[in-house]
Structure 1
Amino acid sequence: MTIAARPETLLIQGMLARRTTNGSFRPDPVSREHQHLLMRVAQAAPSHFNSQPWRFVLIENSQTIQEIARISGESMTELIEAGVFFERYRRYFRFSEAEMNARRDGIHIDHLPGPLRPFTRQVFSDAGLRLMRQLGVPRKLGEDNRRLVAGSPLLLAALLDKTEYHPGELSGFYSVFGLGAAIENIWNAVGALGMGIQFVSTPMEIPRQWQAIGGLLRVPDHLELMAVYRLGYLPDEDRRPAIDWSSRHRKHLEQFVSRETCDLPETEPR
């Protein structure tokens, strides 16, 4: 889809160009003006009865960032070493452009360390996991993850107010929906500021590590820590991590849109 560069379409162009940053950021601090602007766009998101259940913590303190980075790196190493990560998420891995074109979802593993390239399709099998352990890949990935987080000038913790957030009830859904909208606003805004953003997900996979981050941030009982993101200004040249992927494919309309009922897939001109 091509949209003319008219002022009224710039927002849509920005949304279609949205990216997740897998690589490093520039070391420059994120300006307070930009931090507050991102909080304003988050605040503009819709929420149930205008409840605005989201809360955010802006983290610039180097010691805190370094400790969260350590936790994140250790979590990555533990997950890879145990095979837990691949077991949980194997179904999303694609190993060729043809596979991506057919499925149009998941992530294309297109960047691997040299010793693993001959074993691309087996890299996440039990045999591949044994080889990765022998080559020290779990530690390498953990260190890459630690460096990425440690080199981020700004971390953002997203929380929900438990007076609104009740898991298992509709209020729980409404709260998560609202927080998702707020985060999506941030995600769409960073590109206009020359910035990038990435989910710091590995500590969430290990409860004790997630609790440790909650302790670092002194999260009170009435708030629930939901996610942590790393943000910063993008460098001119992006260096890719040891194992990296691309995920720009999107499904065709008929793969996710129906007309009138679920029985009739929508079609689009090709």
Structure 2
Amino acid sequence: MELTAALFNRRTSNGPFLPGPVSREHQHLLMSVAAAAPSHFNSQPWRFVLVEDPQTIRDVADLSGRSMTELIERGVFFERYRRYFRFTAQEMNERRDGIFIDHLPKPLRPFTRQVFSDAGLKLMRQLGVPARLGEENRRLVAGSPLLLAALLDKAEYRPGELSGFYSVFGLGAAVGNIWNTVGSLGLGIQFISTPMELPENWRAMQEIFKVPPHLELMAVYRLGHLPEAETRPAIDWSSRHRKKISQYVFREDCTQPEQD
């Protein structure tokens, strides 16, 4: 029952962390639960880098902030992910997927549904929103006491072959174990995704972590202890809805939806 409760209470932390360090004991526990994940032939293709060095964290934060500013300024982020945005509670309740944009800077709130259109993007540029979001993103990462880089061993990770799928599947299970454990330790976790959206910035991220040729950098996360009071970013969303069983489960074959 404790495990089930942890799964249902899993969260992604969009706000700042407390400045105190994550103990080595907790870091090693997270690595141990990652290693408990299943992998093809017990190949354990995952590799992780734990980062506490302030300069490295600042370098990742600067890159993340610049990436966010560029993505918003160019409209890349909204164009790429617009289909996931929901703007009313009714829409969210009906679709039960995507993210509900329920928190915007005050000047943008009257234009909630239009804020991600071309006209809305122009207004955001005029209001300096891209730079503001970039700086906010930089501060969030810079204020994180621990970064976690997830990599795959290329001896196992061979895209285009079944080993590529097996390796990604295994890493996903390992990271899932981490994600479902952090809450019980009073920690939060968030995917540092913006540099991945721009190939040149992702190459710069690999240089920061000094990734050798035999490893592939797959993802970077920030971790830290959660404050009691939540502080939300300028543009934020909720994503707690999940589809009903009848929307994603079938019985016997793909023609018969399972009943809720």
CA RMSD of aligned residues (A): 0.4
> CA offsets, 1:23-71, max 9 Å, x none?
0100000000000000000000000000000000000000000010000
> Paired residue for 2:248, among 249, 252, 256?
256
1:117 aligns to 2:92 (yes or no): no
The residue aligned with 2:16 is 24
Counterpart-to-counterpart distance in 2, 1:259 and 1:28: 49
Q: Secondary structure at the match of 1:167?
A: coil
TM-score (norm 1): 0.96
> Paired residue for 1:157, among 149, 152, 166?
149
> Paired residue for 1:231, among 196, 210, 223?
223
1:178 aligns to 2:170 (yes or no): yes
Q: Secondary structure at the match of 2:251?
A: coil
User: How many angstroms does 1:10 deviate by?
Assistant: 0.6
| Deviant stretches of 4+, over 4 Å | none
Q: How does 1:1-270 map to 2 (within 5 A)?
A: 9-268=1-260
Counterpart-to-counterpart distance in 2, 1:198 and 1:79: 18
Q: Secondary structure at the match of 1:263?
A: coil
Counterpart-to-counterpart distance in 1, 2:212 and 2:16: 31
> CA offsets, 1:86-133, max 9 Å, x none?
000000000010000000000000000000000000000000000000
Q: Secondary structure at the match of 2:148?
A: strand
Counterpart-to-counterpart distance in 1, 2:201 and 2:37: 30
Identity fraction in percent = 74
User: How many angstroms does 1:208 deviate by?
Assistant: 1.0
> CA offsets, 1:151-184, max 9 Å, x none?
0000000000000000011000000000000000
Q: Secondary structure at the match of 1:221?
A: coil
User: Gapped runs of 5+ residues in structure 2?
Assistant: none
Counterpart-to-counterpart distance in 1, 2:229 and 2:75: 32
TM-score (norm 2): 1.00
User: How many angstroms does 1:217 deviate by?
Assistant: 0.9
Counterpart-to-counterpart distance in 1, 2:53 and 2:16: 18
Counterpart-to-counterpart distance in 1, 2:201 and 2:54: 19
Counterpart-to-counterpart distance in 2, 1:19 and 1:266: 27
Counterpart-to-counterpart distance in 2, 1:246 and 1:121: 16
Counterpart-to-counterpart distance in 2, 1:120 and 1:216: 37
The residue aligned with 1:4 is none
Counterpart-to-counterpart distance in 1, 2:201 and 2:156: 25
Q: Secondary structure at the match of 1:262?
A: coil
Counterpart-to-counterpart distance in 2, 1:151 and 1:237: 16
User: Gapped runs of 5+ residues in structure 1?
Assistant: 1-8
Counterpart-to-counterpart distance in 1, 2:54 and 2:229: 24
User: How many angstroms does 1:216 deviate by?
Assistant: 1.1
Number of residue-to-residue matches in the alignment: 260
Q: Secondary structure at the match of 1:175?
A: helix
